[in-house]
Structure 1
């Protein structure tokens, strides 16, 4: 990998910040709030930030960068797809449970649902994430989609995944601020009590973690190499898998491109041979 040490620095830093984000969320709800329970009270609501940060942010971030890990490049692409999809599915399950906790708490306390910008964007991004997961599973994990469709949808799949992840980060920061404003009355949020400073730090960790994940994902030098990307999925034969690296603007597959390059090199050698022969005749 080009710039391996730099990649390793970004990876370790992002994982550390992600882990700290989860740890800070647990310290927040156990030290300043009422812990965790499932009784319709405030402790049930606390599942929402903990599960969102753990699943929808930390686990989803790991799922996004799993293809970038160079020590997995020798693994089967099908295995990596299953890990990628499994992590995303885990993130979705935790996000859905966190939504159930919020709605259950609101209904138990007669608090209106879906009135804030945080709730609007949050529910929307969960639905979009579920659709993204279903589409990715249907097109890239199941063997029924043609290679041309996979190649055509890959840029959309990558872009929408990063867009959803970035929106999740923004929505989480909205939710953290909203919770602090509602919960901190004496002393108020504006006076910067210890809880506010602690949770604002948590927000910074989340933001930097998301930025590092997106940075690592968008660096071309850190993509899975083509030689490791294109492998046969079926041991008894079959067409090679199509990935984001194997599709090009010309529409050639990797096999087609190899043939074209070989033909071009052969033609170039023939032209060079003719020029050498002509040069030798002119000097005689």
Structure 2
């Protein structure tokens, strides 16, 4: 039985948090960090793409993909397609965000893959990609048998939620890592930028929490084929 929470109001809060988080990470990287660029003499501008793409592209779009399957009062085939497309966008933008970090490190002469954040990040993007590919093949095209889809759905939902929670946790670890580097380089620990980064991380955690709550809540419609995380 589904947890006695209504998905729709939880979704509204999640959307509001998503907008707040997107604005905050853009303000941080454009107003405080100097802007965004794929090619630049100042290699920091290349790195600035990383937190923007990972939060807006990976965390927020990934969360919206999960929310869409539970909260939208649409027929199952439509929700399935929206769910699939949003996850694909999240995966593409997340991969681009990771590429920006590697590009920055390579061009600035910084070592790659030395931190816990980077290790977990690679693991998360690989698991996310495998999860999307499995969902595409089994639930979309060419599609498994009805028995395979029915048997796979609870595990697919559980693994997807686990990977998403891991992604949110690693995003906060990334904020901490970057802020620690900045403060070690002289950034005021009690300045406006430090507070902005910390509050952006808090908003990220809250958004992730409301995505999970939406996932385990009662669906917005009475469609018996709803993606039921709460049945796991």
Fold-level similarity (TM above 0.5): yes
Summarize the alignment of residues 198-277 of structure 1 with structure 2, pairs less than 5 Å apart: 198-219=196-217, 221-222=218-219, 224-227=221-224, 229=225
Distance in 2 between residues matched to 1:16 and 1:151, nearest whole Å: 33
Structure 1 CA distance for aligned equivalents of residues 190 and 48 of structure 2: 21
Cα displacement (A) at 1:80: 1.6
Deviation at 1:10, TM superposition (A): 1.6
Residue 62 of structure 2 is aligned with which of 39, 60, 63? 60
Aligned to 2:49: 47
Change (3 A) 1:139 1:184: same
Task: State which structure, 1 or 2, has the greater radius of gyration over its C-alpha atoms.
Answer: 1
Match of 2:195 among 194, 197, 201: 197
Match of 1:134 in 2: 133
Number of residue pairs matched by the alignment: 226
State the partner residue of 1:122: 121
Say what the alpha-carbon RMSD is for the aligned residues: 2.2
> 1:132-171, aligned counterparts within 5 Å?
132-171=131-170
| Displacement after TM superposition at 1:17 (Å) | 0.4
Question: Structure 1 residue 32 and structure 2 residue 32: aligned?
Answer: yes
CA contact (8 A) 1:37 1:43 kept: yes
Q: Output the TM-score relative to the length of structure 1.
A: 0.74
SS at match of 2:39: coil
Does the C-alpha gap of structure 1 residues 104 and 166 become closer, same or farther in structure 2, counting only changes over 3 Å? same
Q: What's the TM-score once normalised by structure 2's chain length? A: 0.90
Shift of 1:147: 1.1
- For 1:222 and 1:244, locate their aligned partners in 2 and report how far apart those are by CA, in whole Å: 8
Higher relative contact order, chain-length normalized (CA < 8 Å, sep 6+): 2
Cα displacement (A) at 1:195: 0.7
Distance in 1, matches of 2:185 and 2:120, equals 29
In structure 1, runs of 5+ residues without a counterpart are 230-242, 249-284
